[in-house]
Structure 1
Amino acid sequence: MTLSIRNIIPIIKAQFVGVNEIAVIDSVSIDSRSLQNSESTLFFAIVGPNHDGHNYISNLISIGVSNFVVNHVPKEFENKANFLLVENTLEALQNFASAYRSNFDFPIIGVTGSNGKTIIKEWLNFLLSPDYNIIRSPKSYNSQVGVPLSVLGINEKHNLGIFEAGISTINEMENLQKIIQPTIGILSNIGSAHDEGFHDIGEKIKEKLKLFTSVEVLIMNKNKTIEAFLNPKINTFSWSSEDGKADVFVIAKEYSDQTELKITYHKLCFKITIPFNDQASIENAIQCLMVLLYFKYDQDTIQNRMQLLYPVEMRLKVKNGSNNTTLIDDSYSSDYQSLKIALDFLESQKQYKKKTLILSDIFQSGLVLEELYSKVSHLIVSNKINRVIAIGATISTFKNKFPNCIAFETTEKFIQNIDTISFENETILIKGARHFHFEEIVSLLEEKTHETVLEINLNAISHNLNYFKSKLSPKTKLMVMVKAFGYGNGGYEIAKLLSHHKVDYLGVAFADEGISLKNAGIDLPIMVLNPENTSFSAIIQHQLEPEIYSIKGLNAFLKIAEQKKLKHFPIHIKLDTGMHRLGFEEETIDELIAKLKDNKTVEVKSILSHLSASDDRMFVDFTLSQIKLFEKLSSKLISELQINPIRHILNTSGISNYSQAQFDMVRLGIGLYGVSNDEEEQKLLENVGTLKSIISQIRTIEEGESVGYSRRFMATKTTKVATIPIGYADGISRHWGNGVGYVTIKNKKAPILGSVCMDMLMVDISDIECKEGAEVTIFGDNPTVSFMAKQLGTIPYEIMTSISQRVKRVFYRE
């Protein structure tokens, strides 16, 4: 893409306010944090419910960005940059992408549905890439913003596009259709995802079908309900395993780890094998088969390629590496668009300043090699990568373009020499095309721990953060609690993500938690809510901000502050309005004022209190009385001390139930991690943590035999038992055993047999077809931590914070 501002103005119907109408742009951005922003970037200042891109124009100008699409021009920058003034910046981005798409005349496959979109897209890319130069959506860029950014990646060398479209409510798909302009449509399936955005299933179907208004063919599973809403003018190419009137009839015969598909199409009848036996994968594979048939591929090619389909890893994972390294695992894809995303993710999650990129040959860029690797070099330099390890015959020939580069022609040669390369105190992005088998590199560099992992979904954290942000007034600040190792999910990694989202404060319980975050490079203000007097010196040294909740504590802190000759050091005053845990009570306020008046050593940065029953509607009157008392006492402090502090009293449930008491800031805790006390609100949050393990061993016992300590389970019939390497030392309550709890294997419940042991537990898999090594879900979507807490007579907090540090945390982004 190379366009001048002059060309873009009429496309997006903008008014030009600037200094250089003939400036040239070659990339588009909506993320002010990306290191890829440059003088040739056109930045769209998108305005959403929780953010406003206009707020970052100053920072962008300071790093050289000079072209902006805005809905208002900040007066202080009128003569310092080029501004394209529009009514709605998101619509401008979409219109720009739509006009750009119209410049290209080759087949575009548009994929939508409730599930399977990304897998179908990636499999089609694999199946068709030997014959086409394909542009496709990176990862799951299928939203109102993601789709235009994906389409803007098209260049003149591409001859096939595959884009996915996702919607969550009505009146969204029409926008995406205009941008993608698909010539071939695929409808995956219609499930329950985003049901809350539609009145009924019919409304959802009608909205999905808007993507296909102008396609030459729609590929779909023949379905009478969908056909009832389908415009009869749309040509369909249907398949079915039940309806003989479909264009293609498929009979699936499942085996232990694969499925044979018998295909009947016109006069053709042939068989293919795919390496999956779950229903979702079978349906996704058939959708891909239909495209091959529509493109008139021969049977041999279809058979040979379909049997090579592979599990699609849709997530960027953050893992602990050995020798103080952090690994970002993106070891299954290597194309230019996804490299840009992975580098941004690296920047948002880097724990160490030193950054290493292990990169394979880049495929399907649509560019000549010299131009491609020049662009890759520019990306790497702009992202300040310290070292590149290039693997592949092609990329090795361009090693001189990369900083501090070592090159190997194959993964095998790199592995043979891995002991000669030092990896320590750095963040390593591992990104390679699938056939380079970079998962072997990840395995070698990964810290060795046992097979139980807690997977943390960073997308879900961002979703939940934005959900609660949407409840706040624009001026309300946000503190997020990352105490207790991020409620068991991991402290630094989540703090880094919150820093990326520019929250106002982080909250920890004790000084050592805050010191750990500061030492790891977190530069957000951090409040220590339960500081011990002995930690005050360390708090001052590491620029943490203590909560002060008693005269004794205040005196102790003032004494140290005076000794160190501090001036206006930030402190936070805690008031007790009814929790009766910590805080200044009403009768101590005058003494507090006397201590603080005219004191220049400290500055009251905020005044806070804590609601004790904001989640329980039985205690509305009591909560309102807490809020009233807080208003009274904090106002007295403000008036007497002549200060202007941040005031905050609302916790997670307070944000939802008492929005009128937002004051200047709120504190988000358990809600960030996907847990609510309200059943309706719970439906709007996304699960963050999924605790997984594997089956270590399977055995069959007969009637009368027992399982575990004290023979607490006695078999009344022949029973198949699986042993799983997780126990109470990992944080699983012993009360969860003896048939109370269960784990999930192959989407089926497996009840826990007998007592939970220190390092393992046993479950009944008599009705589950599975093998040793099969994945086991301890908690996540099923069972949820809320369900476990209810069964155990406790709260989700205890379940989450009990997970041992010896359980490896794996952070990922979809």
Structure 2
Amino acid sequence: MEIATIYNYFLQTTGIATDNRKINTDNLFVALKGDNFNGNKFALSAIENGAKYAIIDEVEYKTDDRFILVEDSLTALQQLASYHRNQLNITIIGLTGSNGKTTTKELINAVLSQKFNTKATIGNLNNHIGVPLTLLSFDSTTEIGIVEMGANHQKEIEMLCEICQPDFGYITNFGKAHLEGFGGTEGVIKGKSELYQYLSANNKTAFVNTDDTIQNEKTTNINRITFGLNNPENFVNITKIETNPMVKIEFENTTIQSHLIGLYNANNINAAITIGKHFGVSNEKIKFGLENYIPNNNRSQLLEKNSNKIILDAYNANPSSMNAALTNFFQLEEKNKVAILGDMFELGVESSYEHKKLIEFCFNQENIIFHFIGKDFFAHKNSNSNMNFHETFENFKSVFSSKKTENSFLLIKGSRGMSLERTLEII
């Protein structure tokens, strides 16, 4: 079936659904497949639950004209998203990077929404399914779309760029994330730079942090809008950055006091400032948008519980983000500091080395109590008196909950699969 025909069906609906249990009236259900499920089997249920049409890719499930038969449902979803993108008079900003994508996306949205009707990726729906769903949520009232693109292997960003066709792009950084899939640090740089390649080939524009050597080197032949610290040649010159512990930024006689913790968040804020300035948002509105953004979803949240202050950054972790979070934590002038750190996933053959290296990074911090949780950290346990190693969260819980934690400053950080936000229940 031609994509234009499928698009006409889409226009008659109230939006896309991929879960037959979460159908809104007159949705278009798309029957996707996974290792352990076949969405075609739930297409009839989706119709019965209120869907107007269902896209399927197995002929035996087509029982009437409400079922739209295609060769592959996922491909149809992606093609439908690209087709929809091209029907809209809309500017799209594509965003990727090893760390800080979601926070930066939310900051950009907080700034641009002060002037424009914007829509952005919900949560971290940033993969080969999430990006099409994001695009299909845009409508004729959307003026700027902000699309987060995640990847864990080569050619994935290239594919996502072909789907969303960004007019502008920003790469937050190149860090040690998904090393297993990318094949090492150089693979990460190559994979993320696929965004730059798309922008260059299509005469589009990159936002560039000139303080990042890799960003600077990779964008010399691309249209670019730059920012950096104490460099008047940049489009936006950031004159001062402070963290105590919240990030405070100064530019163009404007001071922004954010609710974000850590120097590693400064460039996320700076990118949002720069993108806002490019699109004509006033400094006053940029300030308002950024100062009213409060992080959630376990990302750099500053919490208080009983007599304790807590930095909860348990959404994800890799060697780069862990190092940045710890560097900031070490510099904070607080007493009774406790770092609760969980294993970092998807590091492949580099995993043992990176976990060992992170432990060594903490060696000289004798005023901090460390709890390392997970089998990868546990494999490198040592006898340092301020370092505690727990093979599982349950082991950690039994030890930690037996001691009352009071008047302390805690950092909680680990990969998503470690679910270290559970620590809040035992503080």
TM-score if structure 1 supplies the norm length?
0.38
State whether structure 2 residue 141 is matched by structure 1 residue 153: no
Q: Tell me by how many angstroms 1:288 deviates.
A: 1.0
State whether structure 2 residue 55 is matched by structure 1 residue 69: yes
Residue in structure 2 matched with residue 197 of structure 1 by the alignment: 181
Give the 3 Å change call, closer, same or farther, for CA 149–143 of structure 1 in structure 2.
same
Partners of 1:195 and 1:257 lie apart in 2 by 30
Q: In the TM superposition, what whole-angstrom CA distance separates every residue of 1:484-507 from its partner, at most 9, and x where no partner exists? A: xxxxxxxxxxxxxxxxxxxxxxxx
Partners of 1:257 and 1:793 lie apart in 2 by 27
State whether structure 2 residue 11 is matched by structure 1 residue 10: no
Give the 5 Å matches for 1:243-322: 246-254=234-242, 256-258=244-246, 261-263=249-251, 270-275=253-258, 278-302=262-286, 304-305=287-288, 308-315=291-298
Q: Tell me by how many angstroms 1:186 deviates.
A: 2.1
Contact 1:789 1:799 in 2 (8 A): no
Give the 3 Å change call, closer, same or farther, for CA 225–157 of structure 1 in structure 2.
closer
Partners of 1:217 and 1:22 lie apart in 2 by 31
Q: Tell me by how many angstroms 1:96 deviates.
A: 0.5
Contact 1:785 1:800 in 2 (8 A): no
Q: Which of these residues, 192, 196, 201, is aligned with residue 209 of structure 1?
A: 196
Q: Tell me by how many angstroms 1:195 deviates.
A: 2.5
Q: Tell me by how many angstroms 1:168 deviates.
A: 1.5
Give the 5 Å matches for 1:426-465: none
Q: Which of these residues, 74, 93, 102, is aligned with residue 90 of structure 1?
A: 74
Q: Which of these residues, 190, 196, 207, is aligned with residue 219 of structure 1?
A: 207
AA at the equivalent of 1:10 = E
State whether structure 2 residue 107 is matched by structure 1 residue 123: yes
Give the 3 Å change call, closer, same or farther, for CA 22–118 of structure 1 in structure 2.
closer
AA at the equivalent of 2:86 = S
Partners of 2:389 and 2:272 lie apart in 1 by 48
Give the 3 Å change call, closer, same or farther, for CA 748–73 of structure 1 in structure 2.
same
Q: Which of these residues, 389, 395, 408, is aligned with residue 799 of structure 1?
A: 395
Segments of 5+ residues of structure 1 without an aligned counterpart are 1-8, 15-20, 264-268, 317-331, 333-438, 461-673, 675-682, 688-693, 699-719, 727-743, 752-762, 766-775
Q: Tell me by how many angstroms 1:99 deviates.
A: 0.9
Give the 3 Å change call, closer, same or farther, for CA 450–56 of structure 1 in structure 2.
farther
Residue in structure 2 matched with residue 42 of structure 1 by the alignment: 28
Q: Which of these residues, 199, 216, 226, is aligned with residue 238 of structure 1?
A: 226
Contact 1:456 1:809 in 2 (8 A): no
Give the 5 Å matches for 1:99-114: 99-114=83-98
Contact 1:97 1:149 in 2 (8 A): yes
AA at the equivalent of 1:138 = I
Partners of 1:793 and 1:811 lie apart in 2 by 19
Partners of 1:31 and 1:140 lie apart in 2 by 17
Contact 1:220 1:239 in 2 (8 A): yes
Aligned residues: 367
Contact 2:169 2:195 in 1 (8 A): no
Contact 2:235 2:274 in 1 (8 A): no
Residue in structure 1 matched with residue 412 of structure 2 by the alignment: none
Q: Which of these residues, 25, 29, 54, is aligned with residue 17 of structure 2?
A: 29
Contact 2:127 2:151 in 1 (8 A): yes
Partners of 1:315 and 1:255 lie apart in 2 by 20
Give the 3 Å change call, closer, same or farther, for CA 106–80 of structure 1 in structure 2.
closer
Partners of 1:723 and 1:781 lie apart in 2 by 21
Q: Tell me by how many angstroms 1:155 deviates.
A: 2.0
Residue in structure 2 matched with residue 556 of structure 1 by the alignment: none
Residue in structure 2 matched with residue 424 of structure 1 by the alignment: none
Give the 3 Å change call, closer, same or farther, for CA 94–798 of structure 1 in structure 2.
closer
What SS does structure 2 have at the residue aligned with 1:69? strand
Q: Tell me by how many angstroms 1:91 deviates.
A: 1.3
Give the 3 Å change call, closer, same or farther, for CA 293–780 of structure 1 in structure 2.
farther
Partners of 1:231 and 1:87 lie apart in 2 by 42
Give the 3 Å change call, closer, same or farther, for CA 132–799 of structure 1 in structure 2.
same
Partners of 1:170 and 1:13 lie apart in 2 by 33
Partners of 1:452 and 1:246 lie apart in 2 by 37
Q: Tell me by how many angstroms 1:260 deviates.
A: 5.3
Give the 3 Å change call, closer, same or farther, for CA 92–749 of structure 1 in structure 2.
farther
Residue in structure 1 matched with residue 416 of structure 2 by the alignment: none
Give the 3 Å change call, closer, same or farther, for CA 285–749 of structure 1 in structure 2.
farther
Give the 3 Å change call, closer, same or farther, for CA 83–456 of structure 1 in structure 2.
farther
AA at the equivalent of 1:145 = I
Partners of 1:211 and 1:314 lie apart in 2 by 31
AA at the equivalent of 2:280 = K
Q: Which of these residues, 764, 768, 771, is aligned with residue 367 of structure 2?
A: 764
Partners of 1:27 and 1:181 lie apart in 2 by 21
Give the 3 Å change call, closer, same or farther, for CA 450–253 of structure 1 in structure 2.
closer
What SS does structure 2 have at the residue aligned with 1:122? helix
Give the 5 Å matches for 1:400-419: none
Contact 1:253 1:261 in 2 (8 A): yes
Residue in structure 1 matched with residue 413 of structure 2 by the alignment: none
Give the 3 Å change call, closer, same or farther, for CA 124–205 of structure 1 in structure 2.
closer
AA at the equivalent of 1:240 = G
AA at the equivalent of 2:88 = F
Greater RCO (CA < 8 Å, at least 6 residues apart): 2
Partners of 2:182 and 2:218 lie apart in 1 by 15
AA at the equivalent of 1:32 = N
AA at the equivalent of 1:55 = K
Contact 1:173 1:211 in 2 (8 A): no
What SS does structure 2 have at the residue aligned with 1:152? helix
Give the 3 Å change call, closer, same or farther, for CA 787–54 of structure 1 in structure 2.
farther
Q: Tell me by how many angstroms 1:136 deviates.
A: 1.3
Q: Which has the larger radius of gyration?
A: 1
Partners of 2:291 and 2:120 lie apart in 1 by 20
Give the 3 Å change call, closer, same or farther, for CA 810–42 of structure 1 in structure 2.
farther
Q: Tell me by how many angstroms 1:178 deviates.
A: 3.2
Contact 1:66 1:80 in 2 (8 A): no
AA at the equivalent of 2:20 = S
Contact 1:121 1:136 in 2 (8 A): yes
Residue in structure 2 matched with residue 722 of structure 1 by the alignment: 336
Q: Tell me by how many angstroms 1:92 deviates.
A: 0.8
RMSD: 4.7
State whether structure 2 residue 154 is matched by structure 1 residue 170: yes
Give the 3 Å change call, closer, same or farther, for CA 229–282 of structure 1 in structure 2.
closer
Residue in structure 2 matched with residue 54 of structure 1 by the alignment: 40
Q: Tell me by how many angstroms 1:95 deviates.
A: 0.7
Between stretches 160-169 and 88-97, larger displacement belongs to 160-169
Q: Tell me by how many angstroms 1:122 deviates.
A: 1.4
Q: Tell me by how many angstroms 1:115 deviates.
A: 1.6
Q: Tell me by how many angstroms 1:802 deviates.
A: 2.9
Give the 5 Å matches for 1:298-697: 298-302=282-286, 304-305=287-288, 308-315=291-298
